[in-house]
Amino acid sequence: MATWNGPLERIDEFRWRLAKSYKAGMRTDGVIYADERMMADIRNDKAAEQVANVAMLPGIVGNSLGMPDIHWGYGFPIGGVAATDVDAGGVISPGGVGFDINCGLRLMRTNLTGEEVNPKLRQLVQALYNDIPAGVGSKGDIKVSAKDERKLLAQGSGWVVANGYGRSEDLEYTEEHGAIKGADPDSVSPRAYERGKDQSGTLGSGNHFLEVQAVDEIYDLEAAGVFGIEKGQVVLMIHSGSRGLGYQVCDEYSKDMIGCLSKYGIEVPDRQLACAPVNSPEGKAYLGAMKCAANYAWANRQCLMHLARGVFEKVFRRSEGDLGLDLIYDVAHNIAKIEKQVIGGKERTLCVHRKGATRAFPPGHPELPAKYQKTGQPVIIPGDMGRNSYILAGTEKASETFYSTCHGAGRRMSRSEAIKRAHGRSIARELEAKGIIVMSSGRETLAEEMPEAYKDVNEVVGVVAGAGISRKVCRMRPLGVIKG
């Protein structure tokens, strides 16, 4: 891949500036969060160029941001954050959300310790693998009629909970309570409905996963206690998104938005940065459809957790209440949100794009559950299959990133390169030698997703914590993984 040689000026240990003078059309600077070593990796693809392109969006407020797990996407880089001022003609861009709308993470606690789980680990992983549909185009057993599908898109997690897939408390510990208001089922095409049909409660493939983890380090004892976490405890992490419905919505609206460029006189260097003012009919239509896809994804993760709770009950022969299978939190990391934030002393209505970036609200934020008011919002950060994951918490300093932080390890190697490097190796056996049991249905998934293909999440988290935009609460290590 070509090296990017643009001019980056170091602001401090964790921040780099790409001045707006770099490229004609940039309305503001780019700021990338990284340490020196990571920056060398970041220059290995076009991610920084994309940060510059995003700086051209009409109505952009503050800087065009890159998180430390940044890598080349299309339009926006993965790990890109940008906010536009809705009332000043600011735009919304489907490329700033991604194809997998509301790809995100959910973390469920248990009362079990690593010692209790280990003797039954293989059985647990096998049961999860059997009971949770995964794989390319996976279809599930949760049938939703065409009429109910519209309700699901409007009500998200709330609808599936009302239909027996979980508890009402789960909603409080989900971003947006599991559904963004104002979703418009009419702006979702029949083709998108068709693609999403039968996919509720399915994992999908690629980098989606279900992972059983043990907490191996606590950094903030008080916050960990509030989140219900102790050292040695077992938790379950779920990574999935809006499946075919989301992909189709992005696909269709990306195309529609291309026409908006000439209509609204917007110039962008890349078609995938096509956008429209949030307040335009096209912007509103996309937002209404995006919210549906987001709600679909929350419903999906709610169903996946419900299925997983059933598996734990079966394997450990105890009720979910007895096992303490509570939802800690659920976050989106591919999404655009309309949020009121104070910029330069004035409250503004922003469209915050977080593409491969997670919201990280600070302590005291009204949208957080009462229990998390003192700690700030839990942020769930997955590593690769072989390495650690983290729970972080939001901070006030993150106001500089519109309360956003990284989303995971970020890839550093192409899939074809990973497959080449995996030749002659058994990734599953290498992981098992480390005590991690992996089950996957895709032929090349394990090779494509191998640990070396990813950046080191410890480094990524080190940067966001060092920069003060998140703080470390605890660290987990993988015990068992299901992949599609």
Partner 1 sequence: MKRYEQFPHTADIGVRAYGKSLKELFENAAFAMFDILADLEGITDDLTEKFDLKAANPEELLIAWLDELLYRFYTKQIILSEFNIEEITDKSLKATAYGRSVMANRNRLKTEIKAATYADLAIKKTADGYSVEIIFDV
Examine residue 135 and tell whether it contacts partner 1 (CB under 8 A).
Answer: yes
Q: How far is the CB of 272 from partner 1 (least distance, A)?
A: 5
Is 353 an active-site residue?
no
Q: Which of 99, 227, 316, 390 binds partner 1 (CB under 8 A)?
A: 99
Give the total of residues touching partner 1 (CB under 8 A).
44
Nearer to partner 1, 19 or 261 (CB): 261
Over the window 285 to 324, marking each residue x when it contacts partner 1 by CB under 8 A and - when it does not, the resulting string is: ----------------------------------------
**DSSP-based three-state secondary structure for 286:** helix
Q: How far is the CB of 270 from partner 1 (least distance, A)?
A: 7
Examine residue 72 and tell whether it contacts partner 1 (CB under 8 A).
Answer: yes
**260 within 8 A of 276, measured Cβ to Cβ:** yes
Nearer to partner 1, 49 or 326 (CB): 49
Report how far residue 214's alpha carbon sits from residue 479's, in angstroms, rounded to the nearest whole number: 7
Q: Which of 416, 425, 452, 468 binds partner 1 (CB under 8 A)?
A: 416
Nearer to partner 1, 254 or 401 (CB): 254
One-letter amino acid at 419 equals I
Q: Which of 448, 456, 475, 476 binds partner 1 (CB under 8 A)?
A: 448
- Which tokens in the block code for residue 285? 């239509």
Question: CB-based contacts of 477: which residues, under 8 Å, 6+ apart?
Answer: 213, 214, 216, 387, 388, 389
Q: Which of 36, 169, 186, 194 binds partner 1 (CB under 8 A)?
A: 194
List the beta strands (DSSP E) in 219-302.
233-240, 276-277
The number of CA neighbours under 13 Å toward the Cβ of 9 is 9
Q: Which stretch binds partner 1 (CB under 8 A): 25-33, 167-175, 203-211, 225-233?
A: 203-211
Nearer to partner 1, 198 or 211 (CB): 198
Please, which of residues 253-292 interact with partner 1 by CB under 8 A?
A: 254-255, 258, 270-272
Report how far residue 54's alpha carbon sits from residue 25's, in angstroms, rounded to the nearest whole number: 10
User: Looking at beta carbons, which pairs linking 213-218 to residues 24 or more positions away fall under 8 Å?
Assistant: 213/237, 213/389, 213/476, 213/477, 213/478, 213/479, 214/113, 214/114, 214/117, 214/476, 214/477, 214/479, 215/474, 215/475, 215/476, 216/388, 216/475, 216/476, 216/477, 217/474, 217/475, 218/473, 218/474
Please choose, from the candidates 173, 312, 333, 156, the residue with its C-alpha nearest in 3D space to the C-alpha of residue 239: 333
Q: How far is the CB of 373 from partner 1 (least distance, A)?
A: 36
Task: List residues near partner 1 by CB under 8 A.
Answer: 1, 45, 71-75, 78, 99-100, 135-137, 191, 194-195, 197, 204-206, 244, 247-248, 250-251, 254-255, 258, 270-272, 411-417, 442-445, 448, 484
Active site residues: 407
